[in-house]
Amino acid sequence: MTPKEFQRYLLNFKLHENSSSTKKEELVLDGKSFSVFINEFWTAKQRQANSLHEVSYRACFKPQLPRFFIELFTAENEIVYDPFNGRGTTVIEAALLGRNVIANDVNPLSLILTRPRITIPSLKEIEKRLEEIELETVGNNANNDLDLSMFFHSRTLAEIISLKNYLNEKAEKGKEDNTDRWIRMVATNRLTGHSNGFFSVYTLPPNQAVSAERQKKINIQRNQKPEYRDIKKLILKKSKVLLNEVSNVRSKKTVAQFLNTDASKTSSIKNNSVSLTVTSPPFLDVVQYADDNWLRCWFNGIDMNDVSKKITMSKTLEDWSTKMQSVFNELYRITKPNGIVAFEVGEVRHGKIKLEEAVVPLGIQAGFACDALVINQQNFTKTANIWGVSNNKAGTNSNRIVVFRKV
């Protein structure tokens, strides 16, 4: 699809019979004009996504976003890449569509949550392994390096620590297999949450963990105490949900590469090999990924402080842009001629910072051409609000993607 064909496709796009027409604007930067297309290009309804995506992570986009670009710009067995992998939305969706994938994230937790959903064991293998693992059912915080009694019943905590030790010992010995990795992923996802499907007492949503002191206050406010939760039972229950629609993933035999490195230093990816990149980078210091995931890091033996130093948490736009320029330079190296980079830019500081205005020059400086800016917007009010501080007002849900092409 040529740039003109892509823009024509966006302009004439209809999600369904009653869809609004695409609105077109122009963004002018340094005297150059870039086309902006605004419409509902994909649904925001999570329930229409594959069950395999139902793993919580902070600040992730919906699977329908990468699907839109994967179906437009790639064919089966071509490589789809995400340099800021997060929970793996892009690569999981690409695998579902029969593409090969590369997932990279400087946070090792990202790959813990992603790899098992591409190298998928069967439900029977998971159930058999859970039966084989012997978990302690009696214990207390003396067996642990942290006081977690505000989150977990003592018996539940004993089971969690037993599973933690089992998994980490197997990993250290190089004996952790796909079934172990799946169990680790599900247990990591089930540590804390706001229903009896999680290991913990009621706490904040599962995409972040509050501090121990904050949890004590929640317990007092709700007059609650941690109840016993059977972690094997909950792991199996969640596995059944995740595996509900995955038969097509196994049949497609996706070739996958998993990297845990700086997105600007991916020497193991070949020159001119990636057909499509769909990603959403860390936005300045908006989300504290390490702080949100401290309990998940504890369970997986990850040094949270070390991870925090590596994640791009810039305080200024200038610093962020400098780091992203290095990423764009690397993306240009690995992207095929005529390959695409779809770079999602989030709402930062309530619209006071417009990252698209910084991102477009970065991509062009690296050698890319900017095909278009795509705004997927549900229930948008007036076109004039799209680029202003009133964007994402109540009742509005939007994504803003800068689309680059290697020329």
- Average pLDDT per consecutive 10 residues, the chain (407 residues; last block may be shorter): 93 83 92 93 70 73 91 96 93 94 94 93 95 80 74 94 95 95 96 93 80 94 96 96 71 83 96 97 66 87 80 79 96 98 79 82 97 81 42 55 96
Q: Are residues 194 and 91 in the same domain?
A: no
Say what the pLDDT of residue 54 is.
Answer: 79
Q: Are residues 49 and 104 in the same domain?
A: yes
Q: Are residues 262 and 324 in the same domain?
A: yes
For residue 115, which of 82, 91, 93, 83 has the smallest C-alpha distance?
91
Distance between CA 157 and CA 148 in Å, rounded? 8
In this structure, is residue 249 part of a structural domain?
A: no
In this structure, is residue 137 part of a structural domain?
A: yes
Distance between CA 216 and CA 228 in Å, rounded? 17
- DSSP state for residue 141 in the 8-state scheme: G
Q: How many domains does the chain have?
A: 2
Q: Are 41 and 10 in contact (CB under 8 A)?
A: yes
Q: Are residues 262 and 385 in the same domain?
A: yes
Distance between CA 135 and CA 155 in Å, rounded? 10
Say what the pLDDT of residue 209 is.
Answer: 80
Domain boundary (198, 218, 243) is at: 243
The model's pTM = 0.87
DSSP tally for the chain: helices H, then strands E: 15, 9
Q: Are residues 204 and 345 in the same domain?
A: no
Distance between CA 74 and CA 88 in Å, rounded? 18
Specify the pairing of strand 100-104 against strand 23-29: unpaired
Say what the pLDDT of residue 61 is.
Answer: 77
Work out the widest C-alpha separation in the chain, in whole angstroms.
Answer: 69
Q: Are residues 88 and 156 in the same domain?
A: no
In this structure, is residue 302 part of a structural domain?
A: no
Say what the pLDDT of residue 58 is.
Answer: 64
Specify the pairing of strand 32-39 against strand 23-29: antiparallel
Distance between CA 160 and CA 199 in Å, rounded? 9
Q: 141 burial class (0-12, 13-18, 19+ CB within 10 angstroms)? A: middle
Distance between CA 108 and CA 310 in Å, rounded? 11
Residue range(s) defining the domain that contains residue 317 = 3-119+256-296+307-406
Say what the pLDDT of residue 16 is.
Answer: 79
